Amino acid sequence: MIKIRLYDSFGFRDFFISSDSLTKQEIVSSLLPFSLQESNVKENKDSKAVTCPHCQDNRTRANGKLRGVQRYICNGYKKNFSETTGEFWCNIKKKEKLNKYLYCLLSGL
């Protein structure tokens, strides 16, 4: 595990750019400790109800799929949301390339 001191005289981007390729890959891997299958939408294990991320109401229902991602609608708040609502990668079109996107973003490309 690489430890980065936040009080260094140069920033993280400079550190990342000056690092070797193996270190860069390790940093990118450590910044992505989640599975793309996980979501911010909470399921109650007893009732299998999906909780609205806007109002935390569990009166929700399925509302179709968009590009393979399940959509929901909140019956109380009348808002649409999906399994990926609130995730920074929710609008990335090719999620299998997320590591490459993050690598390029940190490198300033």
Same-domain check for residues 46 and 73: yes
Do 103 and 70 share a structural domain? no
Same domain, 54 and 72: yes
Residues 54 and 26 in one domain: no
**∠ Cα 24 103 1 (to 5°):** 35
pLDDT (tens digit, 9 = 90+) per residue, 59-96?
898 999 887 888 999 988 888 988 878 776 666 777 67
- The answer on 41 and 83 residing in a single domain is yes
Query: Contact 11/5 with Cβ under 8 angstroms?
Result: no
96 shares its domain with 76: no
Q: What is the dihedral of CA 93, 97, 103, 109, to 10 degrees?
A: -50
Q: Same domain for 46 and 23?
A: no
> Which residue range is the domain that position 64 belongs to?
37-87
Same-domain pairing of 31 and 43: no
| Structure-token pair, residue 102 | 């993050």
CA distance 74 to 39: 17
Quick one: 52 and 69 in the same domain?
yes
Stated pTM of the model: 0.48
Q: Percent of the chain, pLDDT > 90?
A: 5
57 against 1, higher pLDDT: 57
DSSP state of 19: S
pLDDT band of residue 3 (cuts 50, 70, 90) is low
Total of domains in the chain: 2
CA–CA separation, 82 vs 108, rounded Å? 30
Please state, as a whole number, how many other Cβ atoms lie within 10 Å of the Cβ of residue 26.
14
